[in-house]
Amino acid sequence: MVTVNLGACDADALKSRLWDEYRIEVPIGARRGTSLRVSAQGYTTRADIEKLVDALRTLLPQLRT
């Protein structure tokens, strides 16, 4: 498990768009900046993680506040 600080961005929009556009569901918090928690399980593949990283590369520049 790892928590990643994403800086200032619209956490609600990020969570919604990750699901709506990529079918990715991850916990996202917005207490002291936006953070995302990734918890890989035995069934999580490298492709799953790469899909998340690619989605974040696309969405974060659009959602920075």
Count CB-CB contacts under 10 A for residue 14. 22
List the domain boundaries for the chain: 1-38
Distance from C-alpha of 2 to C-alpha of 37, rounded to nearest angstrom = 6
pTM: 0.84
Q: What is the mean pLDDT of the chain?
A: 91
**Residues 21-40 pLDDT 10s:** 999 999 898 877 789 888 88
Q: 4 to each of 9, 10, how far by Cα in Å?
A: 13, 15
User: Residue 30: what pLDDT?
Assistant: 81
